[in-house]
Each structure stands twice: as structure tokens, then as C-alpha cells.
Amino acid sequence: MNEPEVLNEMLGDGRGRTIAVVGLSENPGKPSHYVSAYLQQHGYKIYPVNPSIASVLGEKSYASLTELPVKPDVVSVFRLPVMIPAIVDEMLVLGLKDLWVQQGIVNLEAAKKAEQGGIRVVMDRCIMVEHRRRG
């Protein structure tokens, strides 16, 4: 978990990479919003996953990963640690392979289950910070 090569592979070069953002908020002051806006500016296609909103950052919002029109390259999570196991379960059913859990959010049991199911996990790291760090 959190090995530099895994971070680099998940981030790719941005072009053509898709990221489902679970818990993306309409509030520009929330990390999920400004981090997702940053990703868009760097070539990533984001798919908001938030059943409470219709759209955000110019993208249609989906109620769950199951409803997405594509299989995203990465599932980026901005939800409480208690929500991570259900997200992992949904990823396992859908065959999604890369889980990025935002800085400050940790659920080690969910991470272990994900990894046992073949999902690569980055946890407690900011995807924007890691992208910037790569230069």
C-alpha cells in the first residue's frame, strides 16, 4: 500500500485516465471539489459519485459506482472511514482495480479486504499532492 510505483501507475499521465470521485461535493471549499477540479485541469476525466447532487464541475453525478457509464481507472474516495468497506465491496463486484482513499481517511480492514480481492490501494494520501509531487 502506498508504494511510489503504484501511485505513479494509478496517476498515469492524465490523458485518457478516468477517476470516479466518491463523495464529490458541490462546495468549492471542500477538498473533494477543488482536488477534482485540479484533476480535470490536468487531463483526467472525472465521474462524480454522489446521490445527493445532479451534477458538479460540469459532470453528471451518479448515485453509485454501479451506475457509472464506464469502468473508471481509479476510484478516489472522499468519505468517512466507516463508508470504505461498502465501496470496496462494490468495487469487487464491478471488477475495479485501483482504490485511492484521500488523506486523513483510513480503514485498514477495508484496505486489507480490497488487496486480498486484487485491488491496489493507496490510502491516507492526497491525489492532488501526489500528482504535484511528480512534477
CATH number at residue 9: 3.40.50.720
Task: Enumerate the β-bridge partners of residue 102.
Answer: none
Helix, strand, coil percent content, the chain, rounded in steps of 5: 40, 20, 40
Would you state the pLDDT for residue 4?
A: 78
Each residue's pLDDT tens digit, 24-40: 999 999 999 999 999 99
> How does residue 1 score in pLDDT terms, banded at 50, 70 and 90?
low
Residue-number span of the structural domain to which 107 is assigned = 4-133
pLDDT in tens, 73-128: 999 999 999 999 999 999 999 999 999 999 999 999 999 999 999 999 999 999 99
Instruction: Quote the DSSP letter at residue 41.
Output: H
> Which of 16, 23, 9 minimizes the C-alpha distance to 101?
23
Alpha-carbon distance of 97 to 119, in angstroms, equals: 4
Are the C-beta atoms of 113 and 88 separated by less than 8 Å? yes
What is the distance between the alpha carbons of residues 120 and 135, in angstroms, rounded to a whole number?
23
Give me 80's grid cell: 468517512
How far apart CA 65 and CA 51 sit, in angstroms, is: 11
The total number of structural domains that make up the chain? 1
Q: Rounded distance, CA 52 to CA 63, Å?
A: 8
